[in-house]
Structure 1
Amino acid sequence: MLSVDESFSALRSSSSGLTSATARDRLNAYGPNVLPPPRRRSWWRQLAAQFTDLFAVVLMVASTITFLAYTLQQPRNPGTLQLAVAIACVVVLNACIGFAQEYSAERTAQTLQAMVPHHCRVLRDGRPEEVPVQQLVPGDVVTLEAGDTVPADCRLVEAHDFTVNNAAVTGESDPVRRTSDVETAGEPDQAGNRAFMGTDVVTGVARGLVHATGQETEFGRIYRLTAAAPRQRTPLQQEVAWMARRVAVTALAVGLVLFAVRLPAGGDAVSSFVFALGVMVALVPEGLPATLSVSLALGVRRMARHQALVKKLVAVEALGSATVICTDKTGTLTQAEMTVVRVWTWDRTRTVTGVGYDPAGEVDDPEAVRDLLRSAALCCNARLVPPADGEGWRVLGDTTEGALLAAAAKAGLDMAVEERAAPRTAEHPFDPVRKLMSTVHQEGGRGTVCVKGAPAAVVSRCSHLDDGGEAAGLTAARRERVSDVADRMAAQGLRVLAVAVSTRDHPGADRDQDESGLTLLGLEGMMDPPRREVSDAVEACHRAGIRIVMVTGDHPLTAEAVARRVGIVRSSGPTVMTGPDLDSLDDAALDRLVARRGELLLCRVSPEHKMRVVIALQRRGEIVAVTGDGANDAPALKRADIGVAMGASGTDVAREAAEMVLLDDSFRSIAVAVRLGRAVYQNIRKFLVYLFSHNIGELAPILAATFAGFPLVPITAVQVLAIDLGSDVLPALALGAEPPESDVMNRPPRSRRERLFSADVVRRILFLGGIQALGVCAVFFWHVNASGIAYGDFTTDTPAYREAITLVQAGIVVSQFFNALAVRTEHESVFTAGVLGNPRLVAAGILGLALMAAISYVPFLQRVFHTAPLTMDQWLVLAAVGTLPLVCDELRKLWVRRHRVSRAEGGDR
């Protein structure tokens, strides 16, 4: 890597920066220092895309065919035109619902520009200026200090105690030191003399020579990787497309067959075509797209109440079907705030309560560790900032020092008072070679040196240790014990600092002398604590059969310690892999790695590594959810089946790439969302059984009439549409609002290969639909034969015919009322679950019956639907026929429950 002078020369710049004229020329040549906004489809393209869904295409074709049939009829039937318009309205309604939900949700996501500071300090014409960050160009010299966000990729040319937090780029939470030293070639994000766009300055000051702007930065590389990652279709999208194709093909095939059968039997082409159209309309569940969209929207609102913002409707169900969750550590499982949790002195270890930088908490026996905590806090440059503007306690400066200051406050120390009592007179900054820092204070007429740093580095400079207020010689045995304690604390995932002091007459002039002959006060162990609710959420995911893989940029020891605390790791030997380990694996070896069913931790990984892991899991058929908050997580968030970003602490690029944003950053919300997502899938299957079972009830009379030689349809296309949209949609929506079943999180996740129309679902559709079909066919032919009119003498104006088709329509509506109660549960009796357990369902069913009564009795609707008024006796017959699905399904459930009990008892014996 180039030296400072060589770097200036390579970029045709100097220590005094660029001239204004040169900067303008380079701005024209390189372009502004911005990332292009994410490419979005225009609103009209988004709206048009709603009409390309296969179900929408099927319905549009049905509407077109219906309109053509109307033009061919002689005389023309206004009801056919009404049917064509109604189906078209269904398509438009469904498109508007989907468009409104997705358009409004996507506009809540922020662009990447919010991560970049608006202005920065730069040298132009040898003078410091403040310019918009967009005007930075390669060769500019920028000034950076604590609290700044790095505005572009820089090669540091001057640095003083300079540390940065690279979490947004690498995922590593600990501040890393940066210098201006020349380094050997290596990975760009590991270079010790570079600072990257979007990262935060923690401590110190520096000057950086800008060498990359905009998309050429490391941040821009991640942006391009994210943009290139394809957006995965969710399992539900794939299932609905699969279902729509088969429904469309089936409807078309059956319609063509019946048209071919009916035409030679003596019917004219137009009437045979209208007949076939009625069959096709009967097979297509016109209300399903709207029902599906609204049911998913209900899931969106439910999740919003649990702090989960869903940007796309289908993402509601996708998380419920997840089999693997790849989770980040920092900010997702942890607080992203360092906290002192252990304080060790020679006599024993003491605990510290509280989380983060809030000084609320207690130190066990604070007087015994007062000197240790005071000395560590005096040796800090950070400061704590009290809550303000809706933010809690935070730290300005190094997060580790923030934790030391919070621990001192918990012990009752007022550091403002202590600093006045022991004013600082000199400082020896932290050095990565020495691995410690020290400060000199004037106290009681003498100088006190406070030292903190890595245990090995501090202990090697100590000659004594503090033993209950008395200085004891630091023998080899005592040194070994201190080392063992530090190692045990580190193995628990704690970051360990040693604290020591010395008293001298004139300290400050010689660093090596000041940092020799020290007295060891003890050790402080700190960690980025897990969120309180994470353990329960992880346990819920384990019970649900979901595998959790930690994917983080942090150190393996730290990652494993946190994973054990939250319950991700419960065995003694998890598989721990680092980024370089993954680089050594080809795709086949990586597939074998992720196929292992044990616990897996992936540490020190890059965005590319995360992408490879997600793709490898998907190759195995896993449904992968990825959580994260940093820009480095964005490519994997987008490539996953469902990306879940943190809303409060997450970066904008992560929120942009994800389909779901957790507004409270709580992993618990993921478990809740999984539960709700699984409920959505269960409810979708319930209303699919409900909707498709009555399709059999609509189709069976038509087929029966065809083969019996009856010349007219037992139910018209307009009546079918009235059932599908008038009587079925609201009960289906009510089924979609069923709360999750009590054991939903105790079941394994469904396979990616599992179909919505599984064997069990199809059997239940045929079972309930067959019962309805037998009932309505019996009612139709009973009434037609009871009229005494020969089949060939029936016309559309025959009163008996109008009564018969009204009985068929009413019979389907009544059957569906009881069918809706039956499908609420799969094995449990509806009477145990509570007949009125879903009041919306009961109300929707009653509304459907009322609509059917209006169609039967209101003269205007009689003319539209060609119906006749039914007598009370006929309603009683329909009630008896309508209860058959519920009665038969209750008998089926009883048999299933008894069979399970018998099988369990047989297993016990």
Structure 2
Amino acid sequence: MRAGTASSAGGAGAAAPVDTSEPSRVREITAASVFTALGTSRRGLTPAQVGERLQRYGANELPRARRRGVWRQLGAQFTDLFAVVLLVASAITFLAYGLQQPRDPGTLQLAVAILGVVMLNAAIGFAQEYSAERTAQALEAMVPHTCRVLRDGVRLEVPARELVPGDVVVLDAGDAVSADCRVVEAHELAVNNASLTGESNAVARSADAVTDGPALEARNCVFMGTDVVAGAGSAVVFATGAETEFGRIHRLAAAAPRQRTPLQREVAVMARRVAGAALAIGALMFVVRLPTGESLVPSFVFALGVMVALVPEGLPATLSVSLAIGVRRMARRRALIKRLLAVEALGSTTVVCTDKTGTLTQAEMTVTRVWAGGTAHPVTGVGYAPHGEVADAAGVRELLRVAGLCCDARLVPPGGPGEHWRVLGDTTEGALLVVAAKAGLDLGAQERATPRVTEFPFDSDRKLMSTVHRAGASYQACVKGAPAELLARCVDVEWEGRRGPLTERDRASVVTAGDALASQGLRVLAVARREVAVPVPAQEEAESGLTLLGLVGMLDPPRPEVTDAVAACRRAGIRIVMVTGDHPLTGEAVARRVGIVRRPDPVVVTGARLDSLDDAALDTLLAEPSELLLCRVSPEHKMRVVTAFQRRGEVVAVTGDGANDAPALKHADIGVAMGASGTDVAREAASMVLLDDSFASIAAAVRLGRAVYRNIRKFLVYVFSSNIGELGPILVATFAGFPLVPISAVQILAIDLGSDVMPALALGAERPEPDVMDRPPRSRREPLFSAAVVGRILFLGGIQALCVCAVFFWHIRSSGIPFDDLTEDNPVYREAVTLAQAGIVISQFFISFAVRTDRQSLLAVGPLSNPALLAAGGFGVALMAAISYLPPLQSVFNTAPLDAADWAVLVALGTLPLLADEARKAWLRGRAGHRKGAPR
């Protein structure tokens, strides 16, 4: 919502009210006038003003996309290809029933059964879609967006939805802009307006008034949906929610149709092929049966029933359920999947480019060493609680004072029981604030005594940050940054209160000390200062001619669970590449601790070397089967490495937490953002968010992603092997000249609904196999219906079909009744078709256990370890028993009661597919073991 005039904005000022209903008016006034115009002040709004404006303007939220109504959602379930085929078939069957003379009740039963299948499938699909929407909303709420504001002079972190016109927003590199704001203070501030203008280049922002040009090009405004890529500043909100420029675009984008994922497109292709095959087989049955003397309509109805029965009606719903289960399981492992496509791609990840801080480590930087003048000062205490001591603190107190002043972070004490000290801002700066407190410094008093007057924020090019403070009648620049870059700008040293020129011997000792700290796995910062003559000097003046004070070494301990996760990724054939901005020695030390580096000679490449390599040389470097560490690299380097890996056909997952990581996160096959420490921009660009920032969650997500894809294949094998088992007896009977069918279309539909859908859903919830991370990643070019999948379908379905044919014709032959004397009402025939139907149900029960694993024995995973599958299979068997014994169902399905001997034979035959598949798995395991043990 846009603020109105000053009088309506909730605060009157001395200046005349300014109409701010349009951005053009806000940009035309001076920075000082903005506060008056929007009824606020440099101290921000008061709590009372915030409450009044929140009530007036509403929450700072974009309008939600209009969701389809319940009836439209339900109606959409009938537009699926399988549903259309079934609806047409049902209509034709009803028509055939009307044309029959005399009318056959079986035809009507078939038409009703087909229609019932469509309705049931629609109900399942509708329930799953509704559940998925609710789940997506719940998961989205797990990653709230926040922003920093000044309210009543206090810097606070508040939910972005609580911003109101007049709020003073604090902007830093990496922040997402949460509302349309007029800049009132800018220090090297630059934003990326790609989401609004399509231009990805960073554009500078200033606080000066602008009088012409399009509103979106106003250099003194920042807009919702854009992100800060450099510098710092502050701005006043003038529009929120739907009234922002981004809100206008969002309303158009929300109406755009959602694109299907590659997996969905592949399933659609499969559906067309299956539907085509069913039509072809149905037509073949019609043509084959006509010469037998059967009339036209019954032959057509029979062929139509066969065609419909071969359509896997529950496949779309089963696929959705399996993916949704994977998403929910990943959420429980602290991995938030934003796109279903990510579930599929995770299973084929071959390279993970991971940063170090917060992902491999705990992101709780702790200073453990302070070095000055050849003396190391150990520091005790761990974490952000300011409890501990600095050895001989008097000798480094000035160093720590300067380092503490050159920080934007803030320590936040525990707010209640169970809470801990935390840092609001950069964790490295938080560690400096903590060590300063351990040395007995009151930084609050120091900041009041030497207030900051300007700053030059850190950027990845110069690797420095500087602040300028008023010190009495003069000014002092405080500088911290990478030792190599800062040392090159120093001319003096001040150690233990003695100041002198920086000699070459001193430089060598500083470099040696820095390398020694880095070799211990410490991140090293250098600290310096200088006197300047003016409050706002040129950046080059503030950062040259410096006096070196010393070095600070801090440790971010590895997460205890990461070592096992790295080992699991190695076994899974996934290459892990550390990408960090830290010193090579620091990166290598951490990499060795977590197991990324095990050899004595890893390949360590710096950003400077990457700049010297052309694309061909980089491709050659990445092709080497070596342990690779990329250190001192920028986000641009990370993007280039990701692109190079993808040129080689790798499936790349990339972690990132900063705004500059967004291009690499978007370009990667799997962009993984940090949920706890990451910026809003990184989380928006990623397809997966780690809510705990741990690498172990990536490994767990890969494991679950592989399981999801394998589960999809499991229920494909299960469903289509059933179709082979159903079709085989019909084909044998037709070509053998048997006048009746071994199993009717209505019986096949009962099998599909009673013995296929529910076990398939249970298979979609199957836990990962124990060795799922001991196999290489699957190729991204491998289709769902690979040669192995088709071969297993034919293997299991063929055995099932042979068993069903054997039991059907054995029963017919043992009766001694000729084929031509059999009728549909003959008890022998009814018993035979009951045996055929029950044989398929029983064998499907055992096949569901066979397809649970690809190579592992069923005994290894436990036959009873999937209770849902047991319940689903039990339901199918119970339904079959009801069809066999209950008179009302006997009349519908033309069945007869089976005795104990019949069930015993069926169970014995039904176990054959399971036993055969266990033998196949044992052979595969033996072959794999032989290859592993073979001499190379």
Category of TM-score, reference length = shorter chain? 0.7 to 0.9
Match of 1:405 in 2: 433
Asked if 2 retains the 8 angstrom alpha-carbon contact of 1:202 and 1:397, the reply is no
- Give the letter aligned to residue 494 of structure 1: R
- What is the 5 A alignment of 1:176-255? 233-234=260-261, 236-255=263-282
Q: Does 1:715 align with 2:755?
A: no
Aligned twin of 1:295: 322
Match of 2:14 in 1: none
Equivalent runs, 1:56-67 vs 2, <5 Å:
56-67=83-94
- Structure 1 residues 90 and 645: CA distance shift in structure 2, 3 A: farther
| Matching of residue 781 in structure 1 with residue 797 in structure 2 | no
Segments of 5+ residues of structure 2 without an aligned counterpart are: 1-23, 40-57, 154-161, 196-202, 210-217, 457-461
Following the alignment from structure 2 to structure 1, what is the Cα–Cα distance between the partners of residues 150 and 492? 47
Aligned residue for 1:101?
131
Name 2:526's counterpart in structure 1. Answer: 497
Corresponding residue number in structure 2 for 1:863: 891
Of 691, 710, 721, 2:719 maps to 691
Which of these residues, 8, 24, 33, is aligned with residue 17 of structure 1?
33
- How far residue 868 of structure 1 moved from its aligned partner, in angstroms, is 0.7
Alpha-carbon shift at residue 500 of structure 1 (Å): 7.9
Give the structure 1 partner of residue 760 of structure 2: 732
Alignment check: 8 A CA contact 2:180 2:238 kept: yes
CA offset at residue 231 of structure 1? 7.5
Shift of 1:715: 0.8
User: Which piece of structure 1 moves more, 235-244 or 673-682?
Assistant: 235-244
Distance 1:865 1:310, change over 3 A: farther
Residue 117 (structure 2) pairs with residue 87 (structure 1): yes
CA contact (8 A) 2:192 2:229 kept: no
Deviation track 1:660-705 (CA, whole Å, cap 9, x = no partner) reads: 4433333322211111121222233223222222211110111111
CA gap of 1:376–1:845, structure 2 versus 1, over 3 A, is same
Which residue does the alignment assign to 2:849? 821
Distance 1:659-1:895 versus aligned 2 partners, 3 A rule = closer
Of 737, 746, 754, the residue aligned with 2:774 is 746
Q: Is the 8 A contact 2:406 2:480 kept in 1?
A: no
**3-state secondary structure, aligned to 2:854:** coil
Residue type of the alignment partner of 1:387: P
Judged with a 3 Å threshold, the aligned counterparts in structure 2 of structure 1 residues 231 and 376 are, in CA distance, closer, same or farther, namely farther
Decide whether the 8 Å contact of 2:77 with 2:122 is kept in 1: no
Asked if 1:798 is matched to 2:826, the reply is: yes
- CA-CA distance at 1:164 after TM superposition: 7.2
Structure 2 partner of 1:185 = none
Give a deviation string over 1:856-880, Cα, whole Å, max 9, x none. Answer: 0011221222211112222222223
Aligned partner of 1:544 among 568, 572, 586: 572
Distance 1:225 1:658 in 2: 22
Amino acid at match of 1:297: A
Q: 1:426 to 1:790 in 2, by over 3 A?
A: closer
* Equivalent residue letter for 1:672: A
1:274 and 2:290 matched: no
- CA drift of 1:777 comes to 0.7
Structure 1 residues 652 and 82: alpha-carbon distance in aligned structure 2, compared to 1, 3 A threshold: farther
Tell me what 1:127 maps to. none
Mapping of 1:616-655 within 5 angstroms?
622-625=650-653, 627-629=655-657, 642-650=670-678
1:5 corresponds to: none
Take 2:844 and 2:205, find their aligned partners in 1: how far apart are those partners?
71
Aligned residue for 1:826, secondary structure, equals: coil
The within-5 A match list for 1:33-182 is 42-43=68-69, 50-73=77-100, 74-77=103-106, 78-108=108-138, 109=140
Of 598-607 and 267-276, deviating more is: 598-607
Per the alignment, do residues 797 and 631 of structure 1 end up closer, same or farther by CA in structure 2, a change over 3 Å counting?
farther
Q: Is the 1:438–1:451 contact (alpha carbons within 8 Å) kept by the matching residues of 2?
A: yes
Give the drift of 1:764: 1.9
Inter-CA distance 846–894: structure 2 relative to 1 (3 Å threshold): same
Q: For the Cα contact (< 8 Å) 1:154–1:211, is it kept in 2?
A: yes
1:144 & 1:327 partners in 2: Cα distance? 30
Change (3 A) 1:852 1:179: closer
TM-score, with normalisation over the residues of structure 1? Answer: 0.75
Partner of 1:4: none
Change (3 A) 1:858 1:564: same
Which moved further from structure 2: 491-500 or 203-212? 203-212
The answer as to whether partners of 2:150 and 2:169 remain within 8 angstroms in 1 is: no
Q: Which residue of 1 aligns with 2:12?
A: none
Q: Could you tell me which of 311, 316, 325 is aligned with 1:284?
A: 311
From 758, 763, 766, give the equivalent of 2:794.
766
Aligned counterpart, 1:186: none
Assess if the C-alpha contact under 8 Å between 1:375 and 1:501 holds in 2.
Answer: no
Q: Secondary structure at the match of 1:523?
A: strand
**Aligned pair partner of 1:465 in 463, 471, 495:** 495
For 1:60 and 1:657, the matched residues in 2 are separated by 42
Q: What TM-score, normalized by structure 2, do the two folds share?
A: 0.73
Cα distance, 1:814 vs structure 2: 1.6
From the superposition, tell whether residues 233 and 538 of structure 1 become closer, same or farther in structure 2 (CA, over 3 Å): farther
Name which structure has the greater RCO, CA cutoff 8 Å, separation 6+.
Answer: 1
Query: Conserved in 2, the CA contact under 8 Å of 1:451 and 1:501?
Result: yes
8 Å Cα contact 1:324/1:548 also seen in 2: yes
How far apart are the structure 2 equivalents of 1:487 and 1:899?
50
Between 1:851-860 and 1:469-478, the stretch displaced more is 469-478
Maintained 8 Å contact 2:468/2:475: no
Q: Identity, % of aligned pairs?
A: 54
- Which of 919, 930, 933 is the matching residue for 1:891? 919
Query: In the TM superposition, what whole-angstrom CA distance separates every residue of 1:298-354 from its partner, at most 9, and x where no partner exists?
Result: 333322321234455565444223334465677656666665354223344456576
- Sort the Cα spacing of 1:438 and 1:527 in 2 relative to 1 into closer, same or farther, 3 A: farther
Distance 1:350 1:544, change over 3 A: farther
Output the CA distance in 1 between the equivalents of 2:867 and 2:909. 23
Name whichever of 65-74 and 713-722 sits farther off. 65-74
Match of 1:873 in 2: 901
Give the conservation status (yes or no) of the 8 Å contact 2:490–2:545.
no
1:810 to 1:200, Cα distance in 2 relative to 1, 3 A = same
Which is further off, 612-621 or 306-315?
A: 612-621
Return the letter of the residue paired with 2:329. Answer: R
The more displaced of 100-109 and 896-905 is: 896-905
Q: 1:366 to 1:794 in 2, by over 3 A?
A: farther
Q: Tell me how many residue pairs correspond in the alignment.
A: 846
Instruction: Measure, in 1, the Cα distance between the counterparts of 2:89 and 2:774.
Output: 43
- Please give the alpha-carbon distance, in whole angstroms, between the structure 1 residues aligned to 2:605 and 2:547: 41
Aligned-pair CA distance for 1:525: 3.3
Distance 1:515 1:684, change over 3 A: closer
